[in-house]
Structure 1
Amino acid sequence: MSPKPTLIFVPGAWHPASIWDKVSSLLKAQGYNCIAITLPTTTSDPSKTFSDDFQAVRNAIKTETAQGRNVVVVVHSYGGAVGVSAVKDLTAAKGNTSTITSDPTGHVIGICSMASGFGPAGKTFMDALGGAPPNSWKLDYESGFAVLVGDPSESFYHDLPEEERKYWVSKLLDQSLKALTEGAEDTYAGWMDVPVWYLATTEDRALPFQAQQYFVQTVKDAGGNITVREVESGHSPMLSKPKETADFISEAVTAFVG
């Protein structure tokens, strides 16, 4: 078994896998194998659903675990719903830590989540939002995409320098609305199966800090194992605070490995 788990990074809606590059470069320097997922629902195909994203992450996990490597799934925003669902049946038996060291197949040993929520099993992303999107985006059924409204840099990147804000806005992708309205059969509360470390973004304009606190309390009330850290950041700490984000992930992995 590799001494360091593989880190699988799941971006949020509209975002490319490269959103993780700053953080993964810091973690690669520490000897971690880092894999960033391109979500199928961000490939300009309105027919792609949550289930396609779920399967993409799941396939990446299984490729690693089949080679005897443990995995930590790192998720952001909408990617949280995908990533925590994808760990279903890929974790060690709860409470059986001996399985992790004796089984030649690897397992998911933890989840690092940031600026994200924790939804129940069997409900779509929109169900978990109460059935209506926030004011920052809308569902365009004619095009088949979820469309950002106004200036997305204010929601996602307000704490970045202006030129970098423009750069990342230019990298935003078309997001299939089916990712948000379908796929309930694949949603799963994987946050109950493994320890979760949560990085709360205190200056977040897309998912306010108070909402994040509510989600964290939901996990605690359900009996989940969650550890919380905070960072003074907007919605994208992997861009505005990459070192702090990498340090958070490294600390979490140390705890997961035990």
Structure 2
Amino acid sequence: MNLVIVFSLLFLLFSGGRAGIVSFDRDNSPPAILLVPGAFHQAVVYDTVGHLLKNAGYNGVVEAINLPSVGSLASRDDDVKALRRVMDKYLDLGRDIVLVGNSYGCTVIGDAVLNIPSATTTPPYDEEGRRRGRVVSLLYFSGYLPYTEQVVHPETKPDIRLVSPKWFAFLPNDSPSAIPKTVRWDGDLQSSPPDKEFYNVLAQRNPAAANYWVGQLRYSSFAALNATARYIPYNGDFRVIYVAGKQDNSVPPELWHSYLDQPGAKFILEVLDGDHVPMLSRPEEVVKLIINYTKL
């Protein structure tokens, strides 16, 4: 047999028939874990979690995504599109995915699963008879979430300036009627500094680390944070896990209970002894939860 044909056949065998793509078992490979940060934060906050997932024996793909709206004036749609590009990469290859969000990032992963098959459905197949991927789980760590009523009736959603915590700073603020461009985290540094609102558990153990992460904070786009969500995934279509922090100073129990207690809401509740950004303060516990919910 011609050597060119031999090498071509070998390449197709090991690439799954698709140039430039390494093949894997569509039915038995672990899901890809996609990690989405919250407002003001970049994907680097998941670095420790990513390393621990590998050290814990997880042999799947772990990928953290930077949101375009952090450090720019990008929209919520831009955030969702950035995540969907990564999601589609794996779903098209037949790889299931687990979505992990923190704070505002939970709303992003919720919008991103619109029209995406979940693990509660029969596995879909493409036109060539190959199984496509599904969403196994959505994990909301300290999530700020849209209410069902606000998605069904968008006119009921209040402007974020009317319901935001006091440490949000909206700029420019030279006129009450002006539409802000950005949201910052330093509106009340005296009583609500970031090491209290975001990193209070981390600050107790390692003040220097908390100070480092305060220095990494960026502004977020007002348009992104003020946008109305387009989809509610916690109505039973998907397996959604809400992870509350016992010491979360940003999302207190009365707030996260208001999400869970909505009519028709279907959540699995997990509670960590953590703060608002548990991937920094309780990375080991975060990893255990993620791995647990990679299983169907």
Return the match for 2:201 from 156, 159, 176.
Answer: 159
Partner of 2:4: none
Partner of 1:146: 183
Q: 1:127 to 1:37 in 2, by over 3 A?
A: farther
Return the match for 2:137 from 82, 100, 110.
Answer: 110
Partner of 2:6: none
SS in 2 for 1:189: coil
Return the match for 2:54 from 14, 25, 28.
Answer: 28
Q: 1:72 to 1:95 in 2, by over 3 A?
A: closer
Amino acid paired to 2:225: L
- Give the conservation status (yes or no) of the 8 Å contact 1:199–1:248: no
SS in 2 for 1:40: coil
Deviation at 1:98, TM superposition (A): 4.9
Residue pairs, 1:60-99, within 5 angstroms? 60-92=86-118, 95-99=120-124
Partner of 2:260: 216
SS in 1 for 2:260: helix
CA–CA separation in structure 1 for the residues paired with 2:65 and 2:121: 29
Q: 1:51 to 1:6 in 2, by over 3 A?
A: same
The gaps in structure 2 that reach 5 residues or longer are 1-25, 174-179
Deviation at 1:131, TM superposition (A): 3.8
Return the match for 1:169 from 186, 195, 214.
Answer: 214
TM-score with structure 1 length normalisation? 0.87
Identity rate, percent: 24
CA–CA separation in structure 1 for the residues paired with 2:249 and 2:242: 17
CA–CA separation in structure 1 for the residues paired with 2:143 and 2:158: 15
CA–CA separation in structure 1 for the residues paired with 2:183 and 2:201: 24
Deviation at 1:96, TM superposition (A): 2.9
CA–CA separation in structure 1 for the residues paired with 2:29 and 2:268: 23
Partner of 1:247: 288
Partner of 2:166: 135
- Give the conservation status (yes or no) of the 8 Å contact 2:29–2:60: no
Deviation at 1:60, TM superposition (A): 1.1
The gaps in structure 1 that reach 5 residues or longer are none
Deviation at 1:25, TM superposition (A): 1.2
Choose 1 or 2 for highest CA Rg: 2
Amino acid paired to 1:55: K
- Give the conservation status (yes or no) of the 8 Å contact 2:247–2:275: yes
Deviation at 1:68, TM superposition (A): 1.0
RMSD across aligned C-alpha pairs, in angstroms? Answer: 2.3
Greater relative contact order (CA < 8 Å, ≥ 6 in sequence): 1
Deviation at 1:139, TM superposition (A): 1.9
Write out per-residue CA displacement over residues 210-249 of structure 1, whole angstroms, 9 at most, x where no aligned residue: 311221222xx3142x211111111111111111110011
Q: 1:247 to 1:128 in 2, by over 3 A?
A: farther
Return the match for 2:238 from 194, 197, 200.
Answer: 194
1:39 aligns with 2:67: yes
Amino acid paired to 1:172: L
Partner of 2:14: none
SS in 1 for 2:294: helix
SS in 1 for 2:46: helix
Amino acid paired to 2:255: A
Q: 1:210 to 1:140 in 2, by over 3 A?
A: same
- Give the conservation status (yes or no) of the 8 Å contact 2:75–2:223: yes
